[in-house]
Structure 1
Amino acid sequence: MRGRTSIRRITLDAMIGEAIVIDLTFKGTANARIGPEDLEWAERALRAQGITIEPDAMLFLRTDWPRGHVTTDPKWWDESPCLTNAAAEWLVAKRPKVLGYDFAQEEKGGDYEKAEEILTSGMRVHRTILPKVVYQIENLTNLHDIPSKVKVIALPAKWKTESAPARVIALID
């Protein structure tokens, strides 16, 4: 987005911290819509583990959609679970510094139907999240291999752009 810091200017401390993995695997099916009620259910499950979502947290949304799917296959995008705009607003209200996803977060229909149409769409979820959340990490994989709370280091390529690929590393004791 215009006016955002380019990737090459991100400080290291912005990309290092505790990540909370929000378990939405019950929504990891084709075309599942993730609403605020699903996020509230997952948050209650975290609280039962003694984990609280605090402002400035790194939140990783786990559906396990990448398991059994290849991210370069159009079906990965076209049938991916997605966030409703109300879910995006719920996430923004938590005030995370980083939001990460293992699924294509835009809802299909209305704005776009196929992956190749996304950039010309209204991208409502992105437009709800990006002005209020410092950073997003898309296309995460292997979230099933890490605990619900884990130290994370994200290392984006230092490009002169607003987005770039990143290596995301979880430090497990």
Structure 2
Amino acid sequence: MEKIVDLSPAVPHGFKGPPSTDLGVQLEVRTKPGYWQSAQTTLMSLHTGCHVESALHVVEGGESIDEVALERVMGEAVLLDVRPVEAMDLIDVPDLEGALARLESAGEYIRPGDILLLCTGWAERAIGQREYFRRSPGLTEGAARWLVRREPKCIGCDFFEEPAAREPGWKPEEFVVHNVILGAGIPLVEGLVNLGSLPPRCRFFAPFYKFAGVESAPARAFAIVEG
């Protein structure tokens, strides 16, 4: 028997986006006098909550989010569990190798074309707050290159993997993790939750809103696992 595991956080009014904008979600309710009709509008960064990023985020003239086929964010996924991880830790190649060893001890392996899901547990501690971005664990450039060498079609994270961008004022050349992953044509799914409840292998889905000509879009990610 199969069950669906929701991997996206709820996004209420005030939910915080990245520090580059420090914009909290703004929801405005409009109703008609005399009867109930809720028609809300919103203002938010496209990098808020669970979202998918394309190469245009870091590559001038790169692939926009509407050019990313849905098949590239759906399919067989394996979980790389790097816990325990503390705030502002840097996840490096030995941490990923350890997670891979644990995956293989459970009888699973990374295959080219898999989706790689990186679990730290950080989202459950801070998503929606300023600290989610500003005190998040991160990846080293070497770790990002290790991931790309596994030839995944997509990478998903429950933390903000770019340590240089924890605060405003970073330089483009410091955005190394995104440059390595998105520059290789691998979509990134950020803002995931509940990854710790997944088995070593599952089916993963991150359908996203089809905004045209931009670098990111909100997603409602989920996994299907054996019940």
Q: TM-score, normalization: structure 1?
A: 0.88
Once the two structures are TM-superposed, the CA of residue 31 in structure 1 deviates from its matched residue by: 1.0
Q: Does 1:130 align with 2:154?
A: no
Q: Does 1:59 align with 2:112?
A: no
What's 1:150 paired with? 202
Choose the corresponding residue for 2:75, options 2, 17, 38: 17
Structure index of larger Rg: 2
More helix, by proportion: 1
SS at match of 2:116: strand
Q: Does 1:171 align with 2:204?
A: no
User: Tell me, which stretches of 5 or more residues in structure 2 are unaligned?
Assistant: 1-55
Q: TM-score, normalization: structure 2?
A: 0.68
Q: Please show how residues 22-171 of structure 1 align to structure 2 within 5 Å.
A: 22-27=80-85, 29-69=86-126, 71-108=127-164, 112=165, 114=167, 116-117=168-169, 122-160=174-212, 161-171=214-224
Report if aligned partners of 1:92, 1:133 keep a CA contact under 8 Å in 2.
Answer: no
Identity of aligned residues (%): 33
Structure 1 residues 62 and 121: CA distance shift in structure 2, 3 A: same
Report if aligned partners of 2:113, 2:153 keep a CA contact under 8 Å in 1.
Answer: yes
Query: What is the letter of the counterpart of residue 176 of structure 2?
Result: R
Equivalents in 2 of 1:113, 1:3: separation in Å?
A: 25
User: Tell me, which stretches of 5 or more residues in structure 1 are unaligned?
Assistant: none
Query: What is the letter of the counterpart of residue 89 of structure 2?
Result: A
- How many residue pairs were aligned? 167
Equivalents in 2 of 1:102, 1:11: separation in Å?
A: 22
Report if aligned partners of 1:99, 1:133 keep a CA contact under 8 Å in 2.
Answer: no
Structure 1 residues 159 and 17: CA distance shift in structure 2, 3 A: same
CA RMSD of aligned residues (A): 1.8
